[in-house]
Structure 1
Amino acid sequence: MNRRAGDRRFVQQATDAQGRGTVMPGQGPQVADALRQQEELFRAKFGRQMGPGDPVFFDPDADEPVPLDEGTMLAEIRRAAERMPDPRMRAYLLAFAECGYMVTEANQHTFSAHQIEAFTGAVERHAR
């Protein structure tokens, strides 16, 4: 974990004084592609470039850029999982919706052993 701390190639996680967690994505190609897609959706919806204060995941039904409600986002993830032809990917998406986070090789260093165990357990349950 300490080897990857501060390394922008990997996901970073920080907690502020109030105990709120922030996750900063790594700079891998999948993350860059996903962010580009979100920027394109933002530009198409609001007719301008995304600014530093704008939410990356926004409510597509709102007239102004506001963050997507967590419940709505998790429901959409569950719907996407049900359409997923790959059963392993479906299990990962459902585990993400259940736990609120996804553990991957690139970000596992940011989670406790308990969090990793909870996520992998959820994946296994949903893979059955």
Structure 2
Amino acid sequence: MSNESANSSGTSAARARGRVVGVPKRCWCGELVVSLISKSAANPYRRYYRCAFAAENRLSNDNHTYQWVDEALVDETEALKFRLGILEQIIVDERAEEEKKKCAEFEMKLETEVFSRMEDAITEPKGRSRK
């Protein structure tokens, strides 16, 4: 029988070529990956991804891409969560930088205004005393 029964209960992986993370697009051999439905007794009607070449030639125990759809989608979701976390951190960092710049600008305005008022306050009594 084909790989759908050989990998019926274990985790799916492209054994010799490394584990495929997420939804596979192409097999290591260059062939497209197709979605099929298992007909095995252990996993009836469970969907899986398979290398089109290996599926067409009914290869079993090979190194071509084979991955359960549900596992691939969980992997894809986890990868997207990770990327979303990175993007959120970038946004938070950018906002923090913008806030720092705004605070620095506001601080400079305040210092300029305070110095201006202090200078006016200092020069005003000098002008009164001379009269």
TM class, shorter-chain normalised? under 0.3
Larger radius of gyration: 2
Q: Which has the higher contact order (CA 8 A, sep 6+)?
A: 2
Which has the larger helix fraction?
2
- Output the TM-score relative to the length of structure 1: 0.22
